[in-house]
Chain A
């Protein structure tokens, strides 16, 4: 049963520290998404990649957040420096995107990383 995996599951850190979250997408999927979930804002798309290329990171605070895909099996989301307002659950999702005209596949979500910045 293929699943998206995320590490760490929980992270507590102090303001100003660097935080790195990792995601392993489902093998064969070519799109990866990073979402943030908070009570106030709900589910927000931060960034997404197709075939490892960043397509949209408009939802991400550029000054402190960065997202990369070093290879097809790893996506990272980094916050530097972290702030208390970054406290949230961060989800990674992966899916299979075909070129225009193709059937849309489903996004499958990882278990999330619960981040608390003190």
Chain B
């Protein structure tokens, strides 16, 4: 069975703080894909990143970075120097190679206060 766990339900930080959102996944497949989506207060789901299971390199995109560790089945997301505009619900998701379906975590609500 596949599963994605986002244990942090809600995180509150003050602007300019760094924050890490945790994502732990379970799968028996050797080939799979991991995703992060952002859902701002406006409601749409915005794609942030896709990573396949053979690529364990960390990725940085501006203030965003992702740490993929197969040994701990984790795909954590860090926002450096957070801003109020980062306030949103962030979802981690998993997809196996033999299916198009995404398995979503329950999401982490991030609130960044000025």
Contacts and interface: CB of A to CB of B under 8 A. Distances in A.
Interface stretch (A40-48, A62-70, A76-84): A40-48
B64 to A, nearest CB: 16
Nearest to B35: A106
Nearest to A104: B33
B43 A104 contact: no
Interface residues of B, number: 20
Contact of B95 (A43, A50, A104, A114): A104
B45 interface: yes
A25 interface: no
B98 A100 contact: yes
Contacts of B98: 100
Contact of B44 (A45, A95, A109): A109
A91 B101 contact: no
Given A43-B104, A45-B101, A48-B101, A104 B45 contact: no
B74 interface: no
B106 interface: yes
B43 A112 contact: yes
A104 B44 contact: no
Interface of A: 31, 33, 42-43, 45, 48, 50, 55-56, 89, 91, 93, 95, 97, 100-101, 103-104, 106-112, 114
22 contacts: A31-B100, A33-B102, A43-B104, A48-B101, A55-B100, A56-B101, A89-B43, A93-B45, A100-B97, A100-B98, A104-B33, A104-B52, A104-B95, A104-B97, A104-B100, A107-B100, A108-B47, A109-B37, A109-B45, A109-B46, A110-B44, A114-B43
Given A109-B47, A110-B44, 12 more contacts: A42-B104, A43-B104, A55-B100, A56-B101, A93-B45, A104-B95, A104-B97, A107-B35, A107-B47, A109-B46, A111-B43, A112-B44
